[in-house]
């Protein structure tokens, strides 16, 4: 790790731990190295720096973020330093996919949020099917990470109150197409099955689109023993 990246990473980590009470006990379930796609629910900007700073330096970590983030000069500098991959939402961003496949091949842990946009109330939204394409093409295992508490950060900081940030980590699995042709509906079913794995980690009030766990299927999920 370069000196500047070390300074920024640990400066952010210290600042976040001052502003938040972070429950990191389950992050030990994340492997020491990749390839791995670690995916989460998306409630705001808080989970990205928290997960990144808590997982490095013992793990090679990067992630995917919307390209609009690079319009902010400070975030552009930090995310470039952290090697975060910009992606154009709502389209097949071949460049972002290639970069993602490259970092996975190099043994990185790649973080992403399949919902594509944040939920300010903390409730899950329906995921997009793009993550299934990346998982199938890379062959990388996936691991769900659920979090809550960050949705209160804005109101808490105004009151000079620390935010309780909870993290839960699920089991590692592979996507298995079972020899079927990967149509758009199947990609969506895969993404939904993946997000139900996140929903199981969250309190019921945050499950949103994935509230009814009785609808959860695991047809395309093959857990790692």
Query: What's the Cα-to-Cα distance from 57 to each of 1, 108, 177, rounded to whole Å?
Result: 8, 12, 34
Structural domains present in the chain: 3-223 (3.40.1130.10)
Residue 34 pLDDT: 81
Residue 9 pLDDT: 92
Residue 179's contacts (CB-CB under 8 Å, 6 or more residues apart) are none
Residue 1 pLDDT: 65
CB 206 within 8 A of CB 213: no
Residue 24 pLDDT: 93
Residue 110 pLDDT: 95
Residue 200 pLDDT: 97
pLDDT by position in tens, the chain (length 225): 688 988 999 999 999 999 999 999 999 999 988 899 999 999 887 898 999 999 987 778 999 988 888 999 988 999 998 899 998 876 777 899 999 999 999 999 999 999 988 887 889 999 988 889 999 999 999 999 999 999 999 899 999 999 999 999 999 999 999 999 999 999 999 999 999 999 999 999 999 999 999 999 999 999 997
For residue 148, what are its two tokens?
């809550």
Query: What's the Cα-to-Cα distance from 213 to each of 43, 52, 119, 144, 169, rounded to whole Å?
Result: 20, 29, 20, 16, 17
């Amino acid at each position: 790790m370069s000196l500047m990246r070390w300074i920024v990473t640990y400066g952010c980590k210290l600042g976040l731990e001052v502003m938040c009470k972070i429950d990191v006990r389950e992050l030990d379930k994340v492997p020491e190295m990749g390839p791995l796609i670690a995916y989460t629910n998306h409630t705001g900007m808080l989970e990205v720096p928290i997960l990144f700073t808590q997982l490095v330096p013992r793990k090679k970590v990067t992630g995917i973020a919307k390209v609009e983030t690079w319009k902010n000069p400070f975030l552009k500098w930090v995310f470039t330093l952290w090697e975060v991959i910009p992606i154009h939402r709502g389209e097949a961003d071949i460049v972002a996919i290639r970069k993602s496949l490259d970092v996975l091949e190099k043994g990185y842990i790649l973080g992403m949020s399949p919902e594509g946009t944040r939920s300010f109330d903390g409730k899950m939204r329906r995921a997009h099917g793009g993550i299934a394409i990346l998982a199938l093409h890379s062959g990388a295992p996936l691991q769900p990470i659920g979090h809550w508490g960050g949705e209160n950060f804005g109101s808490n900081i105004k009151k000079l109150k620390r935010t309780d940030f909870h993290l839960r980590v699920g089991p590692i699995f592979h996507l298995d197409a079972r020899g079927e042709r990967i149509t758009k509906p199947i990609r969506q079913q895969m993404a939904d099955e993946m997000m139900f794995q996140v929903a199981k980690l969250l309190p019921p009030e945050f499950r949103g689109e994935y509230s009814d766990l009785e609808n959860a299927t695991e047809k395309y999920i093959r857990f790692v023993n």
